[in-house]
């Protein structure tokens, strides 16, 4: 008998195990339905006509509360005690878990592969950017002297243009000043004749025009601003000197009346 039982037990297949488990579940469900119907019948027999619906609901609530307390207090029990059935069920659950884990592993591997590809592309892009940056830095270093020379050349050219403009403007001013002075402050008619003091036999002295006197005073003031005084000699016509002093264009030296300077109008 033991041999026959062992052979019968060893021949249990997963299909038979599922059938047996379903039959046990159906039996338990039927027992629950019978208990529920009995409770309903017991409640209906004691009901009054006035509060039938309320009492029915209260009975259902009490039955569910008792059922909840029992299921909360009791420890879970295995549906079946057949070891072969439990073994097959465990194998099936483990197989499901294995399949789920394999799917998760496949998904993780696929994601890791995609991340590796993205990382490789980013690294390649980073290397390209670094190469480009190095090339730009090299070009900048190579062209920096040329740019500096270009800036210097441009600066010198601009400065040269400004100097040319200033020289042109200076010539125009001097020309306009000369025309004005020649028209309004001409030299005396006998400026080239001999000017003799007390009829001395000294040679004649050529008088300077007012424009030349002003240029001498201006050049002296610009060249040596710390010592702007010019010595008055015989070529300076006295009326011109008096004119410059009276109109405040020139000043005498406070200690030497034979020296004069141009007023510093630019300060």
Whether 27 is covered by a domain: the verdict is yes
Q: 29 with 119, same domain?
A: yes
Count structural domains, the chain.
Answer: 2
- The residues, any chain, with a CB within 8 Å of residue 142's CB and separated by 6 or more, are none
pLDDT confidence bin for 185, thresholds 50/70/90:
confident
230 in Cβ contact with 261 (< 8 Å)? yes
11 in Cβ contact with 88 (< 8 Å)? no
Domain end, chosen from 100, 126, 152, is at 126
Domain end, chosen from 72, 105, 126, is at 126
Q: 117 with 25, same domain?
A: yes
Sign of the Cα pseudo-torsion (182, 188, 191, 197, in order):
negative
Whether 260 is covered by a domain: the verdict is yes
Residue 131 DSSP label: H
Q: 23 with 122, same domain?
A: yes
Determine the straight-line distance between the first and last CA of the chain, rounded to whole angstroms: 137
Whether 140 is covered by a domain: the verdict is no
Interstrand relation of 230-231 and 250-252 (parallel, antiparallel or unpaired): unpaired
Q: Which residue range forms the structural domain that includes residue 21?
A: 17-37+82-126
Residue 189: closest CA among 170, 207, 176: 207
pLDDT confidence bin for 46, thresholds 50/70/90:
low
Domain end, chosen from 95, 126, 157, is at 126
Mean pLDDT across 220-235:
91
Whether 239 is covered by a domain: the verdict is yes
The yes-or-no verdict on residue 6 having pLDDT over 80 is no
pLDDT confidence bin for 120, thresholds 50/70/90:
very high
pTM of the model: 0.38
pLDDT confidence bin for 228, thresholds 50/70/90:
very high
The yes-or-no verdict on residue 15 having pLDDT over 80 is no
Could you report the per-residue pLDDT of 73-99, keeping only the tens digit for each? 766 555 566 777 778 878 888 999 999
261 in Cβ contact with 221 (< 8 Å)? yes
Mean pLDDT across 127-140:
91
Whether 59 is covered by a domain: the verdict is no
Report pLDDT for 216: 92
Whether 211 is covered by a domain: the verdict is yes
Mean pLDDT across 127-144:
90
C-alpha span between 93 and 87 (Å, rounded): 10
**Least confident segment among 21-35, 94-108, 229-243:** 21-35
| Mean pLDDT comparison of 9-18, 36-45, 140-149, 255-264, highest-scoring range | 255-264
248: region left, alpha or beta (phi > 0 left; psi from -120 to 50 alpha): left
Whether 98 is covered by a domain: the verdict is yes
Partnered with residue 262 across adjacent β-strands are 250
Report pLDDT for 174: 82
Whether 174 is covered by a domain: the verdict is no
């Amino acid at each position: 008998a033991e041999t026959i039982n062992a052979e019968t037990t060893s021949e249990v297949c997963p299909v038979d195990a599922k059938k047996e488990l379903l039959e046990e579940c159906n039996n338990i469900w039927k027992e629950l339905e019978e208990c529920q119907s009995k409770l309903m019948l017991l409640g209906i027999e004691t009901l009054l006509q006035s509060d039938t619906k309320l009492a029915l609901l209260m009975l259902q609530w009490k039955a569910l509360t008792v059922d909840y307390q029992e299921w909360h207090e009791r420890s879970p029990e295995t549906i079946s005690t057949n070891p072969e059935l439990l073994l097959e069920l465990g194998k099936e659950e483990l197989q499901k878990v294995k399949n789920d884990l394999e799917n998760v592993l496949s998904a993780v591997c696929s994601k890791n592969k995609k991340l590796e590809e993205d990382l490789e592309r980013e690294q390649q892009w980073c290397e390209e950017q670094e190469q480009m940056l190095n090339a730009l830095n090299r070009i900048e270093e190579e062209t920096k002297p040329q740019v500096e020379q270009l800036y210097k050349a441009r600066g010198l050219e601009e400065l040269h243009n400004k100097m040319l403009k200033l020289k042109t403007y200076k010539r125009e001013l001097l020309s306009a000043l000369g025309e004005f002075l020649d028209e309004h402050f001409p030299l005396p008619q006998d400026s080239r004749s001999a000017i003799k003091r007390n009829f001395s036999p000294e040679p004649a002295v050529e008088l300077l025009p007012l424009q030349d006197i002003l240029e001498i005073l201006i050049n002296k003031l610009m060249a040596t601003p710390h010592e702007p005084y010019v010595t008055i000699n015989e070529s300076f016509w006295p009326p011109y000197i008096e004119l410059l002093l009276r109109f405040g264009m020139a000043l005498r030296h406070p200690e030497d009346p034979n020296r004069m300077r141009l007023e510093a109008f630019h300060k």
